Structure 1
């Protein structure tokens, strides 16, 4: 099993490093006749993480102002995107087929729990895709039964969201099945939960809460439905759905944000992710709403201070390192070496802390300020516990927020959202989900604070006050399926809000 694990991870590493075109999806790369159902879960989890989520998070970490390259010409942090963006290819060629084949085989072999796991991961991949690209193929995507279509029709994002929720509901129903011919960890393939069906069910509910909460700008938004999903999702520490990178493994088995994982660096002098940004540092050094000085106890766990003066500082995106990386690089908070970027740091799909922040937002929007405050406090505390912050430090931090007016702030929607979104941002390092939140909040300084500014040396396509709203569909799909892709120009794709990003 370890050998299969390494093969799958090596495949991802080669795929991500070469960006080679894999267009022949008529030939099923998974060979379902040769790989039994019980050996498939590890591949589905691995591909969902490495081929889909990592690829979808790589550039978005700069868009979300988590990271800066140290190079003022870096494309991601200055929003100079083209159709050379392989999140699409990796998802449709590798991640989704692994998930879908497991659904089909699980149902055929009387193993509904495998089918439920496949549906959960499939819903996550489609959700991540649509949140960056809008309309995507779902109804005519690979289904494991019919011949794969090379020119599938696109579903509107509204239709995609309905299908994502439908897939999660199906997954929950499959996990509720009591007759299951094969245990989910039969071949030690459940590298997340070791066959714990309750955790898988809660994972599906957590994703359902996330996607229902994305609809906060739409008239169909239902905070009570969000709260209900949260009540069935993760309810304590240790339940997070996350990918476990290996200790003492190869480069492809290491967390790609680490100095050992080779996904994050192009060279020693021009790394893709050199430093955390000053915006991120400022969030961890100030209180929400008032912006009073407040040092977050997590900052020294996430990044290292400058050896010259012990200060925490980050880069301005698009500006580069003043004086150059070799001269002044050590004065900025390196991405590598902290809690989220060690070789063995797990990469979360969704966490207990995120569920509590989702619940806090939904309760705040429903008028339950007291319930929102309680969920918010638990979200902050849960993430601090995860990072190993001492209990006394957690209590002291919360008491400072209380002295700073947090209880009164939750009587106001904007002020309450400022607390929730700033703390959620800190708890979601590198996760592409943060970009959804920033767009839902319209990149508001009232929410995120005065340090939220557009990068310098910005792509000239953007006029004053405009922010990036979506990504460009990959060029392979545009060439093969242009009639369904439609307008794929940067000026249209990068600047046009998605369906959930518009009011109705």
Structure 2
């Protein structure tokens, strides 16, 4: 009898284990694609979004570190960067958005594309991989590359030469793949491509341009073949002859101001349809241009010639010029262009520039009892308007939404 009971109990135990296994299947969300179910076109769109974001976030940090922009805070993350004082993990976002948002998808995208004969998708995977690691090594130097996106939790570091030559090899492979004809049953590159809308000729030009740029970084390595890590002038010129000939060849990252419902999944929770630079620069009121930037735009190398881009990059504020208006500012009708913050002075040690306020009776003013700060209205911050995300009536920012006299322009790129 005991034997029969034991058999019955064992059988019941086996049933319970089977039931538990089935029950655990509820943790597989059918609404989230797996590595097996994700299509090449959805992977490419995902990679393009995060690669674009990583590049623009890196660009914004470069503005700060190179002295083009600063903040009126010395203790914040970016305020620290503008005085070469790294704080609060200042450089991690480009790293995260490429190595987490982009990198883990690229090999699967390449393998699936090659299996299907979708060579243009495979070429895009290789080029984005090279593009991303070119950015990473420019920012961080030596880092994991050959083992960087694999299964190893402690990947080995590679030398700069290994990364350089690896990226150039990947670009060469991408160029070869873009020149192949895809199998007729595969999705057109246009289905997943938001950068070039499936125009393979633009992808090729982009590949040749990135290759020329990358080889030119080797200018101090001596003349020779780029395959040996040398500066190869002939190859640079050959690549440039096949790269962009006009603006119509450009790769364009399309953005909208629709405040769409799809948001990123890496923690910022921002709409994926708007400009990443708007996220880190355009929606914030405490970024300012420096005097160095304005000098470079208005009197580069002492030539007393103004760059035509200056009026687009340097922000403006709506104002009325009067007899007591500061000298040295540029005016266009009732708009005045911002002055630049001189980083060679102690202005930022004094909590400056003080943020400008606006009232219908006072117009622009600084709400400070310090006489030295009341003139800080000459500095116009970089905040931009937004019709979708911020519900502004146009792309101008207004200190008082109901008063057009409180408008500022921001910068064209945000």
Matches within 5 A, 1:385-464: none
TM score, norm. by length of structure 1:
0.55
Aligned to 2:355: 325
Q: CA deviation at 1:186?
A: 5.0
Return the alpha-carbon distance in structure 1 between the equivalents of residues 108 and 127 of structure 2: 13
Look up the SS of the partner of 2:252 in the other structure: strand
Q: CA deviation at 1:265?
A: 7.3
Q: CA deviation at 1:47?
A: 1.2
TM score, norm. by length of structure 2:
0.66
Return the alpha-carbon distance in structure 2 between the equivalents of residues 343 and 130 of structure 1: 36
Q: CA deviation at 1:207?
A: 0.6
Q: CA deviation at 1:245?
A: 1.3
Look up the SS of the partner of 1:62 in the other structure: helix
The answer to whether the aligner puts 1:102 opposite 2:100 as a matched pair is no
The answer to whether the aligner puts 1:66 opposite 2:65 as a matched pair is no
Aligned to 1:135: 142
Distance 1:83 1:131, change over 3 A: farther
User: 208-217 or 317-326, which moves further after superposition?
Assistant: 317-326
Return the alpha-carbon distance in structure 2 between the equivalents of residues 82 and 304 of structure 1: 27
Aligned to 1:196: 199
Aligned to 1:491: none
Return the alpha-carbon distance in structure 1 between the equivalents of residues 312 and 57 of structure 2: 25
Root mean square deviation of aligned Cα? 2.9
Distance 1:342 1:103, change over 3 A: farther
Q: CA deviation at 1:65?
A: 1.9
Q: CA deviation at 1:218?
A: 1.7
Aligned to 2:82: 77
Return the alpha-carbon distance in structure 2 between the equivalents of residues 99 and 241 of structure 1: 20
The answer to whether the aligner puts 1:233 opposite 2:263 as a matched pair is no
Q: Deviation above 6 Å: which 4+ runs of structure 1?
A: 341-344
Structure in which a larger fraction of residues adopt helix: 1
Matches within 5 A, 1:79-478: 79-81=84-86, 84=89, 85-86=91-92, 87-142=94-149, 148-181=151-184, 182-185=186-189, 187=191, 189-219=192-222, 220-250=230-260, 252=271, 253-258=273-278, 261=279, 263-264=280-281, 268=285, 271=286, 274-288=287-301, 291-305=302-316, 307=319, 309=329, 310=331, 311-317=337-343, 319-320=347-348, 322=352, 324-326=354-356, 327=366, 330-337=377-384
Return the alpha-carbon distance in structure 2 between the equivalents of residues 228 and 97 of structure 1: 33
The answer to whether the aligner puts 1:34 opposite 2:37 as a matched pair is yes
Q: State the aligned residue count.
A: 302
Aligned to 1:16: none
Return the alpha-carbon distance in structure 1 between the equivalents of residues 305 and 40 of structure 2: 51
Q: CA deviation at 1:36?
A: 1.2
Look up the SS of the partner of 2:218 in the other structure: helix
The answer to whether the aligner puts 1:44 opposite 2:58 as a matched pair is no
Q: Which runs of 5+ in 1 are unaligned?
A: 1-28, 345-427, 431-504
Asked whether the equivalents of residues 42 and 190 of structure 1 are also in contact (C-alpha less than 8 Å), the reply is yes
Return the alpha-carbon distance in structure 1 between the equivalents of residues 154 and 113 of structure 2: 28
Based on CA coordinates, which of the two structures has the bigger radius of gyration? 2
Q: Which runs of 5+ in 2 are unaligned?
A: 1-31, 223-229, 261-269, 322-328, 332-336, 357-365, 367-374, 390-411
